[in-house]
Amino acid sequence: MNTIAIRIFDFLKNFPPFEALSKEQLLSVCESVNVIYVEKEVPVFNIGEPINNHFYVVKDGAVGLFRDNNLLVDECDEGDIFGLRALLRKGDYILSAKAIEETILYTISSELLESHITPNANASQFLMTSFVSNIRHGNSSSITKNISSPRHDISDLQSADYSKNPITCTSDTSIKDAAQIMTNNRVGSIVVSKNNKPLGIITDKDLRTKIATGHFNISDSVSKIMSSPVITYPENISVAEAQIAMLRHRITHLCITKDGTVNTELTGILSEHDIIVLRENNASVLIKEIKRSNKPEHLKNIRQRAEQLLERYLDQNIPINFSCRLISTINDAITTRLINLAIDKLKKKSPVKFAWLAIGSQGRQEQLLLTDQDNALVFEDVSKENNETVKDYFLALSNEVNHNLETVGFELCPAKMMANNPKWCLSVSEWQSQFNRWVSKPDQDNLMLCTIFFDYELVYGDSSLVNQLSKGIFNSISKHDIFLTYLARNTLQNPPPLSFFRQFLVENDGEHKDQFDIKARAIMPLVDAARLLILSHNIKSVNNTIQRFIKLIELEPQNKDVYLFCIEAFKDLLEFRTSQGLTNNNSGRFIDLQSLSKGNRLKLKRSFKSVKAIQELIQTRFKLSQLL
């Protein structure tokens, strides 16, 4: 083999997707790679030109990708691939590429792509992921369809193998006859239907809790004890989606219909047992164990097993947003159980309505690892003379819950942003006054509190109190227009974490010297941007960062490419942090870059481009150009 091919091999082997190829495959590719030199400001290709029969890899230098108005939309440097989308699309170039430095490029033909790269499963998966993550540069309508709802986020997972012959009866069937039908068919449920459309469902549990207890007579009709309306899903439901539905609705059976609604033909039944057999996944079992647990130590063991489940999900390449939702459900169930245990220990029911709120990352359903806890409590307004007594009760309750959460593994918040802090255990009116103070005086401290407390999610208690809080926030924002501008300026405090020479910005001193802070420098800029933009649309019901960007696509279709890019980058960053945390048994916040492969460093670096894109959008939206 010639020395040029060997040098190409030594370079490409460090970058995806080439690192996934065998040595023999990559050597074969390198023998046919062409090397070209491009001077600064010289085009590689232009918009509207017929595609070349190859794509490009940057060896040295940098290439900019531009729209037709000469707007720079991406910058490709060492190891980056460009021109692949056009090659796969088989059409003219819709972007132009121009060297923004003296550049050396490798070109790889479509024949090499088809013969050596796409047949390799890992290499092909990387290319498809890159295709999606870079969709902001082209036509993104197909991708938008795939992520426009939470359901489609996990549609690429294994389809659930449900029973295709559901056992049914009519609403006037007696309970006795229905039980006999279930026994004869050896099934644990029967669907009550009319014209083959589901009306309700009876399970073994209904027979135990409603008939064996004597609450109903076996001669009664099934309509007396059936659960109605049923929860329905379409035939293409995934295993992961089914799990989420059962956990959220606290049920053990789903009805499968033609279009996923009760208005079309019943075609199957999917049980919790089917899910466990299909996935060998014990998430549902963990939830049940949580509900039966009476000691924080038991819950600690369950949470540790949940982390093992998370690790398995990562190994199986389950989408990280699904893992977030599942672990969040488990965390909420643990907190709910601890609140109930605390109420029992106090031997006194709450004097008024209240709500326990998860704030910060758990409020966004993004707390995958065992980090410190952030929570708050809001209680119903009471008279001034009763306020102190009522608050004392909830502080005692919160203190018990916070310390039991610590036993489970969630460390106490060093900044004491917890419900047992009198500052964060308040009545509705007190919270609203506090929110108004933060919004009306947006100094650095108050803005910091907004970024934490405006990401809240009801875990336990009365939802009407939470709705009142949300209403209060937007009333305050509407009266102080300048607040969003200050919040926008605060959002830009963490620029893309690369130096002038495109090197990672790492910690300069302290315990984490020379490590990369993935939370502060990469994840939080996207979190902050999504929060700011969703608040600017007066929407509080969407807290999760990915769901916020999805909602923004709906509200601002003109910016969908940027938001899609942010979604894919955020998933990558969250997965990086989680993987690092599980590997090192810590929060995953600080990453030793030397422990990452060159390919992973490149993937991490690419995700930073989304930070730049969203911050440029905010800079323009809120007229902040003079600040940068």
- CB neighbourhood size of 153 (10 A): 23
272 pLDDT above the threshold of 50: yes
Same domain, 53 and 127: yes
pLDDT at position 286 is 82
- Give me the mean pLDDT over the 237-246 stretch: 76
Residues 427 and 452 in one domain: yes
Same domain for 533 and 462 = no
| Domain count along the chain | 4
What one-character-per-residue DSSP string does 465-488 give?
A: HHHHHHHHHHHHHHH-THHHHHHH
pLDDT of residue 146: 35
DSSP string, 157-170: SPBP--BSS--EE-
375 close to 456: Cβ distance less than 8 angstroms: no
pLDDT at 136 over 60: no
| Cβ-count burial 404-427 (b if 16+ within 10 Å, e if not) | bbbebbbeebeeebbbbbeebbbb
The confidence score (pLDDT) of residue 174 equals: 95
Query: What letter does residue 135 receive in the DSSP assignment?
Result: G
What is residue 497's predicted lDDT score, i.e. its pLDDT? 79
Q: Residue 83: inside a domain, yes or no?
A: yes
Tell me if 161 is assigned to some domain: no
Sheet (strand 197-203) strand order: 168-169, 189-194, 197-203
Q: Let me know whether 576 and 448 are in one domain.
A: no
Mean per-residue pLDDT, 394-413: 96
Give the residue numbers spanning the domain of 120. 3-139
pLDDT at 252: 85
Assess whether 290 and 269 both reside in one domain: no
Euclidean distance between CA atoms 226 and 394, whole angstroms: 38
Residue 122 has pLDDT above 50, yes or no: yes
* Alpha carbons 5 and 32: distance in angstroms, whole number: 8
- Mean pLDDT for the stretch of residues 445-460: 94
Decide if 16 contacts 599 (C-beta within 8 A).
yes
Q: Which of 479, 503, 533 is the last residue of a domain?
A: 479
The whole-model pTM stands at 0.65
Domain end point (choices 139, 159, 182): 139
Kindly tell me if the per-residue pLDDT of 314 is higher than 60.
yes
Is 433 a domain residue?
yes
Mean residue pLDDT across the chain: 86
Query: Which residues 6+ apart lie within 8 Å of 34 measured at CB?
Result: 54, 106, 107
**Residues 295 and 440 placed together within one structural domain of the fold:** yes
Residues 343 and 251 in one domain: no
Residues 65 and 182 in one domain: no
Calculate mean pLDDT across residues 488-515: 80
Q: Specify the DSSP element, H or E, that contains 489.
A: helix 482-491
Q: For 113, which DSSP code?
A: I
Q: What is the mean pLDDT of residues 39-62?
A: 92
Question: In this structure, is residue 134 part of a structural domain?
Answer: yes
CATH number of residue 113's parent domain? 2.60.120.10
Q: At what angle do helices 121-133 and 560-584 cross, to 10 degrees?
A: 130
Both 337 and 453 in one domain: the answer is yes
Q: Do 595 and 470 belong together in one domain?
A: no
Q: Please say if the pLDDT value at position 591 is more than 50.
A: yes
Residue 144: inside a domain: no
**In the prediction, which pLDDT does 157 show?**
46
pLDDT of residue 134: 44
Instruction: Identify the CA nearest to 554 among candidates 534, 569, 570, 571.
Output: 534
Candidates 252, 263, 262, 258; CA nearest to 235 is 258
Are 448 and 543 in the same domain? no
Pick the residue with more confidence: 600 or 350? Answer: 350
**Residue 227, beta-bridge partner list:** 201
